[in-house]
């Protein structure tokens, strides 16, 4: 199968009509496991390896973990990104994120935990049982994708550091390196770097909340948030913070980047909700990518991005138009 | 008005608007972005979200031609009358790209639904301002013919000053659209502001 090729640039351009059927998709993982052995043994440089490194992961089994919708082609998911640290055009991250050094990498876990500490790249890629989760991904800009992520529940990570009873929220930070991230050097950008995001403790511990290290069976490309990013499938994409260097457990609701920038437009929760519009555009529909001009592939947006059965309970009694 | 290009007799003036050795080259240049976009759409080269790419491109080309159109008069005073001579075509290019912009919006964002259009028009300031700008361009495009110019006489000039209202509306439209980096919006805002300021008596008095 073509997909076995490990060179980053040789991914085939697959039209959506030719997406691999699920049976083959699952078998592909076995093939990749074989390919890993080949890559490791070939003595390539670490950088070349991490750019194309395949991951071994079990298919997710929890409720909502694997949608049967057709995954977006890898081409689209890896070339069309918002990662403002590398520029505001959708193509900028793919063009410029290679400047980011992701190996070595460390993530500091601090705050209200019994055992504060640091996770290194090896811990992230080898220290947890990896699962493949196929989630819908809905951007606040009203486009969406379906992406097979590889990762482990955030709950697994947090439990290792033993959160105390004072831990009510989790605050995340993205790396901030002016020399490697050209977007952070733009003097017309009004984001106060580093990029920050946060979750309530019960959201963070929810089984769907994924600490993500890969997609499409390989480690994350830099533009998608390598080496470690968050994926919260029932929230708008900007909540799913990329290239995380700090996880802090706190007792107060943390301030997040978009909230500070435009509090009337982006709330702390930012759950996908077709009934609550962004002040500047409607959230009732989304363009499922890839779309085209003559067939925009415009579909109705679902409450909690279709994960209502799994997560609505977290927000019982809350007025979601107030806590948007 | 001290403009050199407006002094000649009416008939000569109209013939100048229409012809000249640069008419077709300029026409080709104004059409080029459209042809490139058309080719990119048909050959599927606008990436996974051609809707957004097309919205950005058509809007920005309308904006660029608006800058060029407003540059025509000062440029002719600085001794470069080409743009001024062909300002009708450049103005129609603004209208053409703005109309494309609106068409794409209707097709991919509104889905030709009256209900969604009504919602957008009542709830979203940037849509209201953008559509208002396009509506103001309508009479300008419609009366751009020699026949209409003759028929409206001195009112024609007054009518076409509407472009001075369109420019700030467009600036507002782009600023309202920016999510976090206002660089592009400010760039065009500064250009348009400079071109409008140049027309105020104070600035022009000093220039002369």
ipTM: 0.76
Minimum Cα–Cα distance from A89: chain B residue: B53
Give Cα separations from B5 to A169, A310, B8, B19, B73 (angstroms).
Answer: 69, 71, 7, 14, 9
Q: Residues A108, A115: contact at Cβ < 8 Å?
A: no
The closest alpha carbon to A237, from A201, A212, A263, belongs to A212
Q: How many CA atoms lie within 13 A of A153 on its CB side?
A: 15
| DSSP β-ladder status, A285-288 and A298-300 | antiparallel
pLDDT computed for residue B182 by the predictor: 81
Q: Measure Cα distances from B3 to B24, B75, B202 in Å.
A: 24, 11, 17
Omega of the bond leading into B8 within 30 degrees of 0 (cis): no
Above 90 in pLDDT, residue B6? no
CB contact under 8 A, A293 and B116: no
Per-residue pLDDT band for A42 (boundaries 50, 70, 90) equals very low
- B70 in reach of chain A (CB within 8 A): no
- B64 is written with which tokens? 């660029």
Residue B31 burial class via C-beta count within 10 angstroms: exposed 0-12, middle 13-18, buried 19 and up: middle
Percent of chain B with pLDDT over 90: 66
Q: What is the CATH number of domain A57-315?
A: 3.90.420.10
pTM: 0.81
Minimum distance, in Å, between the CA of residue B180 and any CA atom of chain A: 6
C-alpha B168 chain-centroid distance: 12
Distance separating alpha carbons of residues A221 and A217, to the nearest angstrom: 11
pLDDT at A173: 98
Interval B35-58: pLDDT, tens = 999 999 999 889 999 988 999 999
CA dist B203 and B1 (Å) reads 15
Q: Count of CB contacts below 8 A, A vs B?
A: 76
C-alpha to C-alpha distance for A91 and A83, rounded to whole angstroms: 10
* pLDDT over 50 at A43, yes or no: no
Confidence (pLDDT) at A18:
56
pLDDT per position as a tens digit, B105-154: 999 888 898 988 998 888 889 999 999 999 999 999 999 999 999 999 89
Task: Read off the pLDDT of each residue in B169-196 and give the average, rounded to a whole number.
Answer: 90
pLDDT band, very low/low/confident/very high, at B200 (cuts 50, 70, 90): confident
Residue A290: pLDDT band (50, 70, 90) is very high
Helix, strand, coil percent values for chain A (each to nearest 5):
30, 25, 45
């Amino acid at each position: 199968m073509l997909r076995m090729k490990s060179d980053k640039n040789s991914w085939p351009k697959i039209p959506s009509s030719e997406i691999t059927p699920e049976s083959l998709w699952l078998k592909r993982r076995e093939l990749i496991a074989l390919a890993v052995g080949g890559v490791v043994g070939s003595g390539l440089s670490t950088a070349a390896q991490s750019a194309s490194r395949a991951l071994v992961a079990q298919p997710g089994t929890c409720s909502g973990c694997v949608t049967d919708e057709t995954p977006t082609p890898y081409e689209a998911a890896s070339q069309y990104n918002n990662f403002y640290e590398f520029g505001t055009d959708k193509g900028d991250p793919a063009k410029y994120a290679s400047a980011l050094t992701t190996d070595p990498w460390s993530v500091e876990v601090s705050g209200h935990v019994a055992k504060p500490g640091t996770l290194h790249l090896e811990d992230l890629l080898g220290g947890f049982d990896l699962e493949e989760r196929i989630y819908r991904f809905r951007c606040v800009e009203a486009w969406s994708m379906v992406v097979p992520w590889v990762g482990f529940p955030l709950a697994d990570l947090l439990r290792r550091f033993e959160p105390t009873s004072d831990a009510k929220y989790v605050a995340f930070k993205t790396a901030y390196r002016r020399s490697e991230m050209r977007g952070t050097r733009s003097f017309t950008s009004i984001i106060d770097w580093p990029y920050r995001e946060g979750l309530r403790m019960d959201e963070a511990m929810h089984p769907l909340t994924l600490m993500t290290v890969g997609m499409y069976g390989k480690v994350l490309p830099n533009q998608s948030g390598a080496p470690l990013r968050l994926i919260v499938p029932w929230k708008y994409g900007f909540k799913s913070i990329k290239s995380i260097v700090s996880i802090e457990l706190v007792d107060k609701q943390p301030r997040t980047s978009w909230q500070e920038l435009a509090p009337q437009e982006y709330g702390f929760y930012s759950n996908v909700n077709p009934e609550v519009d962004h002040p500047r555009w409607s959230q009732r529909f989304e363009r499922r990518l890839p779309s085209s001009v003559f067939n925009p592939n415009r579909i109705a947006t679902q409450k909690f991005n279709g994960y209502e059965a799994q997560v609505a309970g977290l927000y019982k009694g809350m007025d979601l138009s107030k806590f948007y | 008005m001290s403009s050199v290009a407006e002094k000649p007799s009416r008939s000569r003036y109209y013939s100048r608007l229409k012809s000249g050795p640069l008419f077709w080259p300029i026409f080709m240049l104004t059409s080029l972005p459209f042809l490139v976009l058309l080719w990119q759409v048909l050959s599927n080269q606008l990436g996974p979200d051609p809707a957004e790419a097309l919205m950005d491109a058509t809007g920005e080309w309308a904006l660029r031609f608006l800058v060029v159109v407003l540059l025509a008069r000062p440029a002719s005073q600085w001794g470069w009358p080409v743009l001024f001579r062909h300002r009708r075509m450049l103005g129609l290019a603004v209208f053409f790209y703005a109309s494309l912009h609106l068409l794409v919006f209707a097709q991919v964002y509104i889905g030709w639904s009256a209900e969604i259009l009504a919602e957008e028009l009542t709830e979203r300031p940037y849509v209201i301002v953008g559509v208002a700008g396009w509506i103001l361009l309508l009479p300008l495009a419609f009366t751009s013919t020699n026949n209409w110019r003759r028929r409206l006489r001195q009112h024609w000039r007054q009518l076409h000053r509407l472009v001075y209202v369109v420019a700030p509306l467009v600036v507002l439209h782009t600023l309202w659209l920016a999510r976090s980096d206002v660089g592009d919006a400010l760039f065009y805002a500064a250009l348009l502001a400079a071109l409008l300021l140049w027309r105020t008596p104070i600035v022009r008095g000093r220039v002369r």
